[in-house]
Structure 1
Amino acid sequence: MTKQHAYITTAIPYVNGLPHIGHAMDYMLADVWARYARQNDREVRFQTGVDEHGNKIAAKAAENNLTPQAYVDQLYENFKKMIAELNISSTDFIRTTDAHHCEAVQYIWRQLAAGGYIYKGSYEGWYCQGCEAFVTDTEAAENNGVCPDHKTPYQRLSEENYYFKTSAFSDKIREAIESGRMKIVPEFRKKEFLALIGNGLQDVSVSRPRKNLSWGVAVPDDDSQVMYVWLDALSNYITVIGYPDRTEEWQSFWPADVQVVGKDILRFHAGIWPAMLMALDLPLPKVLLVHGFINVNGAKMSKSLGNGVGPSDIVPHYGVDAFRYYFLRHVPTQEDGDFTWEKFEAAYNGELGNDLGNLVQRVAKMVLSYQAGVIGDAPQAEHDMGPYRAAMESFNFDRALAEVWQTIRSLNQYIERVQPWQVAKKRDKDPEAEVHLSEILAYACGTLLQVADMLTPFLPQTADNIRGLFASGVVPQELAPLFPRIYIHTPDPRGAKQAS
Structure 2
Amino acid sequence: MATAASEFAQARLERRAMSEPFYITTAIAYPNGRPHIGHAYEAIAADVIARFQRAQGRDVRLVTGTDEHGLKMVQTARGQGRDTLEFADEMSGYFRQMCDELSISYDAFVRTTEDRHHQASIALWKAMEANGDLYLDRYEGWYSVRDEAFYDEKELIEGEGGVKLSPQNTPVEWTVEESWFFRLSRYAEPLLKLYADNPDFIRPESRRNEIVRFVEGGLKDLSVSRTSFDWGVPVPGSPGHVMYVWVDALTTYMTGVGFPDDRASYDRFWPADLHLIGKDIVRFHAVYWPAFLMSARLPLPKSLFGHGFLLARGEKMSKSLGNVVDPMELARTYGVDSLRYFLMREVSFGQDGSYSDEAIVTRCNAELANSFGNLAQRTFSMIVKNLDGVVPAAGEAPDDAALLARVAEAAAEAKSRFGDYDFSVGLDAWMAAVFAANAYVDAQAPWALRKTDPDRMAQVLGTLAAAVEQLAVVVEPVVPNAIARLQAYVEEGRAAGRLAAPTPIFPRLELVDTPE
Whether 2:184 is the aligned partner of 1:184: answer no
User: Is 82-91 or 33-42 further displaced after alignment?
Assistant: 33-42
Unaligned runs of 5+ in 1: 427-432, 491-500
- After TM superposition, the structure 1 = structure 2 runs for residues 412-451 of structure 1, keeping only pairs within 5 Å, are 412-426=438-452, 433-451=453-471
Any conservation in 2 of the 1:353–1:483 contact (CA below 8 Å)? yes
Any conservation in 2 of the 1:445–1:470 contact (CA below 8 Å)? no
- TM-score, length of structure 2 as denominator length: 0.89
Q: What is the CA-CA distance between 1:272 and the residue it aligns to?
A: 0.3
Q: What is the CA-CA distance between 1:488 and the residue it aligns to?
A: 2.1
Q: What is the CA-CA distance between 1:304 and the residue it aligns to?
A: 1.0
Alignment partners' CA distance in 1, 2:157 and 2:417: 43
Any conservation in 2 of the 1:189–1:290 contact (CA below 8 Å)? yes
- For residues 433-490 of structure 1, the C-alpha deviation after alignment (integer angstroms, 9 at most, x for no partner) is 2332111111101011011111111000121122234345456333222222233259
Alignment partners' CA distance in 1, 2:58 and 2:316: 38
- After TM superposition, the structure 1 = structure 2 runs for residues 175-214 of structure 1, keeping only pairs within 5 Å, are 175-180=193-198, 183-209=201-227, 212-214=228-230
Q: 2:156 is paired with a residue of what secondary structure?
A: helix
1:438/1:400 Cα in 2 relative to 1: closer, same or farther (>3 Å)? same
Any conservation in 2 of the 1:367–1:475 contact (CA below 8 Å)? no
Any conservation in 2 of the 1:56–1:130 contact (CA below 8 Å)? yes
Q: What is the CA-CA distance between 1:266 and the residue it aligns to?
A: 0.5
Identity of aligned residues (%): 36
- After TM superposition, the structure 1 = structure 2 runs for residues 6-405 of structure 1, keeping only pairs within 5 Å, are 6-140=22-156, 142-143=158-159, 144-147=162-165, 153-180=171-198, 183-209=201-227, 212-378=228-394, 381=404, 383-384=408-409, 385-405=411-431
* Letter of the 1:246 counterpart: D
Of Structure 1 and Structure 2, the greater helix share is in: 2
User: 1:407 — aligned with what?
Assistant: 433
Alignment partners' CA distance in 1, 2:224 and 2:509: 51
Query: Which among 465, 470, 476 is matched to residue 485 of structure 2?
Result: 465
Any conservation in 1 of the 2:120–2:254 contact (CA below 8 Å)? no
Query: Which among 466, 473, 480 is matched to residue 503 of structure 2?
Result: 480
1:387/1:89 Cα in 2 relative to 1: closer, same or farther (>3 Å)? same
Any conservation in 1 of the 2:417–2:425 contact (CA below 8 Å)? yes
- For residues 172-227 of structure 1, the C-alpha deviation after alignment (integer angstroms, 9 at most, x for no partner) is 22222222276222122212221222223332111012xx1221111111102111
Q: 1:260 is paired with a residue of what secondary structure?
A: strand
* Letter of the 1:21 counterpart: I
Unaligned runs of 5+ in 2: 1-14, 396-400
- TM-score, length of structure 1 as denominator length: 0.92
Q: What is the CA-CA distance between 1:154 and the residue it aligns to?
A: 2.7
Q: What is the CA-CA distance between 1:406 and the residue it aligns to?
A: 1.2
Q: What is the CA-CA distance between 1:150 and the residue it aligns to?
A: 8.7
1:170/1:148 Cα in 2 relative to 1: closer, same or farther (>3 Å)? closer
Any conservation in 2 of the 1:3–1:43 contact (CA below 8 Å)? yes
* Letter of the 1:459 counterpart: V
CA RMSD in angstroms comes to 2.0
* Letter of the 2:504 counterpart: P
Alignment partners' CA distance in 1, 2:248 and 2:122: 9
Q: What is the CA-CA distance between 1:53 and the residue it aligns to?
A: 0.7
Alignment partners' CA distance in 2, 1:254 and 1:158: 37
Alignment partners' CA distance in 2, 1:59 and 1:139: 25
1:182/1:206 Cα in 2 relative to 1: closer, same or farther (>3 Å)? farther
Number of positions where the alignment pairs a residue of Structure 1 with one of Structure 2: 482
Any conservation in 2 of the 1:364–1:475 contact (CA below 8 Å)? no
Alignment partners' CA distance in 1, 2:435 and 2:316: 34
